[in-house]
């Protein structure tokens, strides 16, 4: 029988003091891996709180310069833009209008903080009257009719100065379509971040309130992945890689950490994870009620996403987390 005193490996030594704990820390977060999503709305002088996402606002273009400068001061170096147009139609035409909210937001941000990396979400759901991510024919989203519109949007955003375009409609061939449209427009330096493994999730609820993009009929299960399907998610990533994607994404993050880990081990592409609106609101609500410690819960979740293998984390906690990291 081994007496406790005969044991030589005392694992607790590694947790002895803050200095030792810091020295042996395996997973490190730093602001350079965080991307802050921004909702850009039409109008002027608008800073409008999103009620389901305390601390998150919709900004009109004129307000972005000061907001992005503030983000940059905290150490955030990348933002992801979503547009909320003043008019919606069946074809989502404001998504690819040259003077739409997103192209204007991109130029505004680039002139305020030139070094800020701008990622533009490429989808139709915020711009269509029916709220689906593509063109609807006979009650179904038509894949191939949607592709040219996504491509036009991507080209408009790249032309306005976006560094990265991020097709998120979950249409087949969307990366290939965007890639060739960019090449044709001689915008070959623009990166593509594919929302490759995007699951049909209840955690998008608060975002749909923020962006006014709830489908008016049906749901997105005809194009987004089913929760239990990891292998199918890997096929989506593989397909995007073949089509020339630069960065792949898994979304949501918290309920899909195993999918992030699997993507990390199978592919050599940079992996982004999108910690979505519901993941944020859940922690904010519990924190506001005093049920858990908001800061510790948020940092624990972000660390777990990093530990699972994400290189890049898109999170509504970005600004706060950057501040917490510098404390
Ligand atoms: C658009 C899109 C969605 C999100 C990002 N891009 C919503 C959806 O599919 O309904 C959700 C992000 C979030 O919940 O934070 N296709």
Dihedral of CA atoms 8, 14, 16, 18 in degrees, nearest 10, equals 170
Phi (first) and psi of residue 273, to 5 degrees: -125, 135
pLDDT given for residue 310 in this prediction: 98
Question: Mean pLDDT of all residues in the chain?
Answer: 96
pLDDT given for residue 194 in this prediction: 97
CA of 14 to the centre of ligand 1 (A): 41
3 in a structural domain: no
212 in a structural domain: yes
State the angle between helix axes of 143-160 and 101-112 in degrees (0 to 180), rounded to the nearest 10: 30
Q: Taking the model in full, what pTM does it have?
A: 0.96
Instruction: For residue 271, give the nearest of 168, 193, 175 by alpha carbon.
Output: 193
**Is the separation of the CB atoms in 125 and 153 below 8 Å?**
no
Among 56, 204, 225, say which to mutate for ligand 1: greatest number of ligand atoms within 8 Å of CB. 204
Residue 58, beta-bridge partner list: 39, 48
Residue 4 has pLDDT above 70, yes or no: no
Q: pLDDT for 101-116, tens place per residue?
A: 999 999 999 999 999 9
195 in a structural domain: yes
pLDDT given for residue 217 in this prediction: 87
Among 39, 276, 305, say which to mutate for ligand 1: greatest number of ligand atoms within 8 Å of CB. 276
Residue 268 has pLDDT above 80, yes or no: yes
CA of 23 to the centre of ligand 1 (A): 38
CA of 285 to the centre of ligand 1 (A): 20
Q: Is residue 251 annotated as a catalytic residue, yes or no? A: yes
Domain, as residue range, for 150: 28-325
CATH assignment at residue 114: 3.20.20.70
Dihedral of CA atoms 22, 72, 268, 275 in degrees, nearest 10, equals 80
As a whole-number percent, the residues of the chain with pLDDT over 90 amount to: 92
121 lines ligand 1 (CB under 6 A): yes
Residue 159 has pLDDT above 60, yes or no: yes
pLDDT given for residue 2 in this prediction: 61
123 lines ligand 1 (CB under 6 A): yes
Among 207, 280, 281, 282, say which to mutate for ligand 1: greatest number of ligand atoms within 8 Å of CB. 207
247 in a structural domain: yes
319 lines ligand 1 (CB under 6 A): no
- Position in ligand 1 atom list of the atom nearest CA 195: 6
CA of 274 to the centre of ligand 1 (A): 10
Q: Give the angle subtended at the CA of 203 by the CAs of 198 and 208, to the nearest 5°.
A: 90
CA of 207 to the centre of ligand 1 (A): 6
71 in a structural domain: yes
- Sorting pLDDT into bands at 50, 70 and 90, what band is 53? very high
- Sorting pLDDT into bands at 50, 70 and 90, what band is 84? very high
pLDDT given for residue 216 in this prediction: 86
133 lines ligand 1 (CB under 6 A): yes
Residues 6+ away with beta carbon under 8 Å from 257: 304, 305, 308
Q: pLDDT for 181-238, tens place per residue?
A: 999 999 999 999 999 999 999 999 999 988 888 888 888 898 999 999 999 999 999 9
CA of 56 to the centre of ligand 1 (A): 15
Please state the rounded mean pLDDT for residues 255-273.
98
Residue 112 corresponds to which tokens in the numbers above? 């305020």
Q: Is residue 198 annotated as a catalytic residue, yes or no? A: yes
As a whole-number percent, the residues of the chain with pLDDT over 70 amount to: 98
pLDDT given for residue 214 in this prediction: 85
174 lines ligand 1 (CB under 6 A): no
Which 3-state string (H, E, C) describes 179-243?
A: HHHHHHCCCCCCEEEEEEEEECCHHHHHHHHHHCCCCCCCCCCCCCECCCCHHHHHHHHHHHHHC
97 in a structural domain: yes
14 in a structural domain: no
Residue 163 has pLDDT above 80, yes or no: yes
pLDDT given for residue 63 in this prediction: 98
**Is the separation of the CB atoms in 37 and 82 below 8 Å?**
yes
**Is the separation of the CB atoms in 141 and 168 below 8 Å?**
no
200 lines ligand 1 (CB under 6 A): no
305 lines ligand 1 (CB under 6 A): no
168 in a structural domain: yes
- Sorting pLDDT into bands at 50, 70 and 90, what band is 23? very high
Total domains in the fold of the chain: 1
At residue 140, the 3 state secondary structure works out as strand
Residue 5 has pLDDT above 70, yes or no: no
User: Which of 16, 45, 110, 198 is labelled catalytic?
Assistant: 198
């Amino acid at each position: 029988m081994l007496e406790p005193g005969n044991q030589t490996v005392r694992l607790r030594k590694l947790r002895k003091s803050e200095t030792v704990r810091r020295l042996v820390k395996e997973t490190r977060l730093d602001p350079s891996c965080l991307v802050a999503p921004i909702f850009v709305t039409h109008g002027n002088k608008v800073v409008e709180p999103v009620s389901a996402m305390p601390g998150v606002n919709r900004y009109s273009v004129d307000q972005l310069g000061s907001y992005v400068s503030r983000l940059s001061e905290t150490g955030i170096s990348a933002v992801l833009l979503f547009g909320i147009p003043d008019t919606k139609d069946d074809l989502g035409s404001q998504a690819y209008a040259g003077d739409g909210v997103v192209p204007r937001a991109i130029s505004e941000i680039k002139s305020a903080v030139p070094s800020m990396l701008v990622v533009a979400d490429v989808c139709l759901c915020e711009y269509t009257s029916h709220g689906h991510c593509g063109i609807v024919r006979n009650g179904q989203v038509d894949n191939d009719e949607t592709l040219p519109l996504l491509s036009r949007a991507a080209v408009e955003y790249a032309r306005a100065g976006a560094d990265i375009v991020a097709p998120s409609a979950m249409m087949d061939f969307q990366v290939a379509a965007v890639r060739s449209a960019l090449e044709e427009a001689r915008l070959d330096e623009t990166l593509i971040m594919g929302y490759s493994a995007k699951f049909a999730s209840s955690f998008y609820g608060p975002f749909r309130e923020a962006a006014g993009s709830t489908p008016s009929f049906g749901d997105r299960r005809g194009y987004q992945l089913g929760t239990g399907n990891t292998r199918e998610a890997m096929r989506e990533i593989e397909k995007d890689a073949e089509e020339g994607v630069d960065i792949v994404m898994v979304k949501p993050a918290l309920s899909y950490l195993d999918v992030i880990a699997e993507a990390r081990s199978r592919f050599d592409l940079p992996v982004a994870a999108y910690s979505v609106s519901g993941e944020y609101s859940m922690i904010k609500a519990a924190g506001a009620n005093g049920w858990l410690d908001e800061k510790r819960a948020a940092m624990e979740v972000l660390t777990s996403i990093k530990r699972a293998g994400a290189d890049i984390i898109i999170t509504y906690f970005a600004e706060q987390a950057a501040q917490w990291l510098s404390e």
